[in-house]
Every structure is written in C-alpha cells, then in structure tokens.
Amino acid sequence: MAKVTIIGASGRVGQFAAYSVSQIPFVTKIILFGREGNEDVLEGTKWDFIDSFAALGRNLKLFWSVDPKELKDSDIVIITAGIPRCNGQDRLDLAKKNADLIRMYAEMISKNAPESIIFVVSNPVDIMTAVALKYSGFPQNRVFGLGTHLDSMRLKSFVANHFQVHVSEVHTRIIGEHGNSMVPLWSATTIGGIQISNLPAFASLPKEEMVHWVKTAGSHIIAKSGATVYGPGAAIASLVKTVLGNENRILTVSAYIKSEVHDIGNVCIGVPARLNRMGAFPVPIRISEDEVKKFQESVEKIRIVTAEVIEELES
Ligand SMILES: NC(=O)c1ccc[n+]([C@@H]2O[C@H](COP(=O)([O-])OP(=O)(O)OC[C@H]3O[C@@H](n4cnc5c(N)ncnc54)[C@H](O)[C@@H]3O)[C@@H](O)[C@H]2O)c1
Ligand SMILES: O=C(O)C[C@H](O)C(=O)O
C-alpha cells in the first residue's frame, strides 16, 4: 500500500510518469498535483486514467488537487513541474528559472508531507535535487533525482543491441552530470556477468558514437517530437517501484555524496545508489583513473552552477 503524489501532473512527463506509476501493483493512491488554473487538465486526465484502470482491471484511488494539504501521508512525491528546454537550449539554461519553483515545492512538501521521499525530475536535475534537498530540510537519503538513470538506460539499450543480447544481460552505468559532462563507466559494464573488455566484440564497439548519442538523445528527441516523455516516464516508475518495493537495487540517481567516489563530495550528482524504502544511499566505489578525472570535472561544473543558483535564491 503506497501513496504517490506527482507534482506537475498536467505536464507531459508528469502525465506519463503518473500513468506508469499507476501500473505498479502496490501503489494504491495517486494524487495528480498541479497549479491553480490547470484544474480542467487535471480533471480530464483523472477521468482518462480511470477509464484505463477499468480496461486494465486496476483498482486504485486517483485524485487531482491544487491544495497542498492533499500531499499529506505521501510516501513519495515526484516533482516534474518546471520549464522544459527548447530546441537548441542546454538543460543548465533552465537552472535559474526552475530553481524558484523547486524551492517553493520543496518547502510545501516539507510542511505537508514531512515523512515523504522527494524524487526530483525537473531539469537541470542535479541542481534541482540540491535545491530540493536544501529547502526541504530533509535528510540526504530522502531526496534524490532521476540523475543519470535515463542516460544509463540509453547506453544499456545500445550495448544490448550491439551484442545482440537481452537488455537484462547488460549492466552499465553513466555517472556525473545529467548533461554534457556525464561519464560512462566502461570499467563497471558487464554482459552476462562478464566484464565487457573481456569480450572480443568490445574492440569493435563504437563507444564514442554511443556516448555521443546518449549525450544528445534528449535534444534529438526534443527537436523531432517536442519532448521526451516515455523514456523518462518509464524510468521514473522503475525507480518508484524500487524505492517503495524496498528492493535495494543499485541504480544511478542524483544523490548527495560526501566522499563515496574517491573522496569527491559535497554535491548532488549522478552516482550508483542503493534504493529502498528509506530513500537513496550512494554506494562507495572505486573507478579507473581516467574516469575519476572526468567525474571530478563533471562534479566541479555542477558544484559551480549549484552554488550560483543557491546564492541567487538566498539573495
Ligand atoms: N531528468 C530527466 O531525465 C528529465 C526527463 C524529461 C523531462 N525533464 C524535465 O521535466 C520538466 C517537465 O517537462 P515536461 O516535458 O513535462 O514539460 P511540460 O511543459 O509538458 O510540463 C511542465 C509542467 O510544469 C508545470 N509548471 C511549469 N511552470 C510552472 C510554474 N511556474 N508553477 C507551477 N507549475 C509550473 C506545468 O503546469 C506542467 O505541469 C522539465 O524541466 C524537463 O526538462 C527531466
Ligand atoms: O533532454 C531533456 O531536456 C529532457 C531529459 O533531460 C532527457 O534527457 O530526456
């Protein structure tokens, strides 16, 4: 039995995330939360969802609201509200505009659902996670962001295709910024449990092209269809299932690190974390020298923008 609230439920990602979350068997209550003025969209979406539940034989309670009090007793609150980037923009261009909103929602969640877990999706997700952490006042494990989970899924799909294996045979991850400075961890990539560099086909793997595609996948999709929706929505639901199902899977989310990756820390960024009913717990890891260098660069980039955004919020 679990209650999930989606803030930004009138938006594209919020709607598909809500739909994907509604398919998790133990989710029994969903609140589609939106801002005043969007009541009609939320009302229409609610009834559309209820039709889908009838068709699929799902039995759960689903409401919409613009009243913060309805956040009460949420087990997890997903924040998808915020401006998305347009064709040609970088995710970091959204930082200052979305920070005010995330701050407002973090304070609202802290007041109305003080025991919940906050799951940030809005971009730039690493910085918005830091803003949500600061202004909710929640412990570090109870605030995390989608981070590089979606990027890791994108890479996984390419690797599985290249090796002609089912995606479940591929374990790979990308750490760092959900953006240009992301770092693929080939040292932590296995296929069928075998370290990828021990497979002869690794030599012909077009690694650079694959990573380039992962880095540009979001902008490519936005340029063609206007928004990324189904990838993020499904990725969000799989993390919600992992957390609420207390699965203790290790997935790559944006979380506050202290010193887990070669003593680099004091920032929210994409790292492998154990996810369970208490939230996200970064796993101490050791990676190759080259990967550490790139991760450090990614961290410093995010650290600077995070500091600028928080400074502006405080002024
Ligand atoms: N982390 C990821 O991997 C990932 C993936 C996809 C989208 N995103 C981000 O999610 C966010 C939403 O994307 P989308 O495509 O659903 O956008 P959208 O424009 O379809 O929806 C935006 C939502 O935010 C709400 N919103 C916008 N400004 C608001 C304000 N000032 N006050 C209150 N609510 C406001 C809207 O009402 C709507 O519900 C964007 O920031 C986007 O970049 C992140
Ligand atoms: O690329 C975007 O702006 C949306 C999202 O971060 C994504 O990677 O799909």
Task: For residue range 269-300, list pLDDT tens digits in order.
Answer: 999 999 999 999 999 999 999 999 999 999 99
Rg (CA), the chain: 19
pLDDT-derived band at 311 (thresholds 50, 70, 90) equals: very high
Q: What percentage of the chain exceeds 70 in pLDDT?
A: 100
Q: Cα–Cα distance between 119 and 151 in angstroms, integer? A: 17
What's the confidence (pLDDT) of residue 112? 98
Distance of CA 268 from the midpoint of ligand 2 (Å):
18
Where does CATH 3.90.110.10 sit in the chain? 149-314
What's the confidence (pLDDT) of residue 292? 96
Top-tier CATH class for 149-314 = alpha beta
- The average confidence (pLDDT) of the chain is 97
Give the atom of ligand 2 at the shortest distance from the alpha carbon of 218. Answer: 1
Cβ neighbours of residue 244 closer than 8 Å, sequence gap 6 or more: 2, 4, 24, 26, 27, 75, 76, 277
Pick the more confident residue, 184 or 1.
184
What's the confidence (pLDDT) of residue 181? 98
Closest Cα to atom 5 of ligand 1: 232
Where does CATH 3.40.50.720 sit in the chain? 2-145
Task: For residue range 197-216, list pLDDT tens digits in order.
Answer: 999 999 999 999 999 999 99
Residues with CB under 6 A from ligand 1: 8, 10-14, 34-35, 38, 80-85, 94, 98, 101, 121-123, 125, 146, 150, 178, 227-228, 232
**DSSP secondary structure code for residue 315 in this structure:** -
Q: Is residue 292 a known part of a binding site?
A: no
What's the confidence (pLDDT) of residue 120? 99
pLDDT-derived band at 67 (thresholds 50, 70, 90) equals: very high
Task: For residue range 229-266, list pLDDT tens digits in order.
Answer: 999 999 999 999 999 999 999 999 999 999 999 999 99
Q: Is residue 273 a known part of a binding site?
A: no
Instruction: Note the ligand closest to the C-alpha atom of 33.
Output: 1
Determine the residue of 35, 103, 118, 219 to mutate for testing ligand 1's pocket, defined as the one with the most ligand atoms within 8 A of the Cβ atom: 35
**Residue 228 CB–ligand 2 contact under 6 Å:** yes
Q: What percentage of the chain exceeds 90 in pLDDT?
A: 99
What's the confidence (pLDDT) of residue 277? 98
Task: For residue range 108-161, list pLDDT tens digits in order.
Answer: 999 999 999 999 999 999 999 999 999 999 999 999 999 999 999 999 999 999
Q: What is the mean pLDDT of residues 53-64?
A: 96
Q: Is residue 91 a known part of a binding site?
A: yes
What's the confidence (pLDDT) of residue 218? 97
What's the confidence (pLDDT) of residue 28? 97
Helix and strand element counts for the chain (H, E): 8, 14
Determine the residue of 20, 32, 80 to mutate for testing ligand 1's pocket, defined as the one with the most ligand atoms within 8 A of the Cβ atom: 80
Pairing of strands 2-7, 27-33: parallel
User: Is the bond preceding residue 184 a cis peptide, omega within 30 degrees?
Assistant: no
Q: Which of 168, 165, 104, 177 is nearest to 136 (CA)?
A: 104
The Cβ of residue 240 has, within 10 Å, a number of other Cβ atoms equal to: 24
pLDDT-derived band at 164 (thresholds 50, 70, 90) equals: very high
- Do 124 and 95 contact (CB within 8 A), yes or no? yes
Give the atom of ligand 1 at the shortest distance from the alpha carbon of 7. Answer: 39
What's the confidence (pLDDT) of residue 85? 97
Span 2-145 CATH architecture? 3-Layer(aba) Sandwich (3.40)
Q: pTM of whole model > 0.90?
A: yes
